[in-house]
Structure 1
Amino acid sequence: MVANKKALSMGMILLVSFAGVFFLIMMPIFGNGMTGLDYSDDLFNKLSKGSSYFIPDVKAQIKDFEGKQAKAAVKFKSEDEAKHSLAVMAKAGFSAAQAGETLNVDVDLGKMLSKVVDDADAMYHDDGAKVGAFYGLDKDAEGKLAMKAWWTLLAGMIKPLQKEKQIPMANAVNLVNQKAIEPAYNFYGIKAESILDKIPAASGLLIFYVVYTMWYGFAIFEIFNGIGLSMSKSKIKKEV
Structure 2
Amino acid sequence: MSMQQKLKTRGILMLVGFFAVLVVIFLPVFPGKVNGLDYTDNIFNMISKGSSYFIPATLQESELYKGKTIDVTVKLADAAQAEQVAGQLANAGVTVSVNDNELAVNGDMASITTASLADADLIFNNNGTPLVEKYGYSERQVMYNWWTLFKKITPELNKQKMFAAAKFFGNVEKKALEPAYNYYGVEAIKWQEHIGLILVALAFYVVYTLWYGFGIMYLFEGLGLKISH
Equivalence for 2:215: 219
1:71 aligns with 2:55: no
Matched-pair contact (CA < 8 Å) for 2:97–2:103: yes
Question: Which one-letter code corresponds to 1:60 in the other structure?
Answer: Q
More helix by share: 2
Provide TM-score, normalisation by structure 1: 0.90
Equivalence for 2:160: 164
Equivalence for 2:119: 119
What whole-Å deviation, never above 9, does each CA across 1:87-113 have from its counterpart, x for those lacking one? 322333323122233211111111111
Separation of aligned partners in 2, 1:60 and 1:91: 21
Separation of aligned partners in 2, 1:112 and 1:17: 58
Question: Which one-letter code corresponds to 1:125 in the other structure?
Answer: N
CA positional deviation for 1:122:
1.1
Question: RMSD of the TM alignment (CA)?
Answer: 1.6
Equivalence for 1:22: 22
3-state SS of paired residue (1:96):
strand
Separation of aligned partners in 2, 1:209 and 1:5: 29
CA positional deviation for 1:57:
1.3
Matched-pair contact (CA < 8 Å) for 1:132–1:144: no
CA positional deviation for 1:51:
0.3
5+ residue gaps in structure 2?
Answer: none
Question: Which one-letter code corresponds to 2:121 in the other structure?
Answer: D
Instruction: State the identity %.
Output: 35
Return 53-62 or 190-199, whichever deviates more: 53-62
Matched-pair contact (CA < 8 Å) for 1:3–1:227: no
Matched-pair contact (CA < 8 Å) for 2:92–2:111: no
3-state SS of paired residue (2:70):
strand
CA positional deviation for 1:222:
1.1
Return 28-37 or 79-88, whichever deviates more: 79-88
What whole-Å deviation, never above 9, does each CA across 1:53-108 have from its counterpart, x for those lacking one? 01121112111111111111112232333223223223333231222332111111
Return 5-14 or 71-80, whichever deviates more: 71-80
Equivalence for 2:97: 97
Separation of aligned partners in 1, 2:95 and 2:222: 75
CA positional deviation for 1:27:
1.7
Question: Which one-letter code corresponds to 2:149 in the other structure?
Answer: L
Aligned residues: 228
Summarize the alignment of residues 3-152 of structure 1 with structure 2, pairs less than 5 Å apart.
Answer: 4-137=4-137, 140=138, 143-152=139-148
Equivalence for 2:189: 193
Summarize the alignment of residues 229-240 of structure 1 with structure 2, pairs less than 5 Å apart.
Answer: 229-232=225-228
CA positional deviation for 1:168:
0.9
Separation of aligned partners in 2, 1:131 and 1:84: 13
Separation of aligned partners in 2, 1:100 and 1:131: 24
Separation of aligned partners in 2, 1:33 and 1:4: 43
3-state SS of paired residue (1:198):
helix
5+ residue gaps in structure 1?
Answer: 234-240
Matched-pair contact (CA < 8 Å) for 1:3–1:228: no
1:154 aligns with 2:150: yes
Separation of aligned partners in 1, 2:176 and 2:46: 17
Question: Which one-letter code corresponds to 1:90 in the other structure?
Answer: A
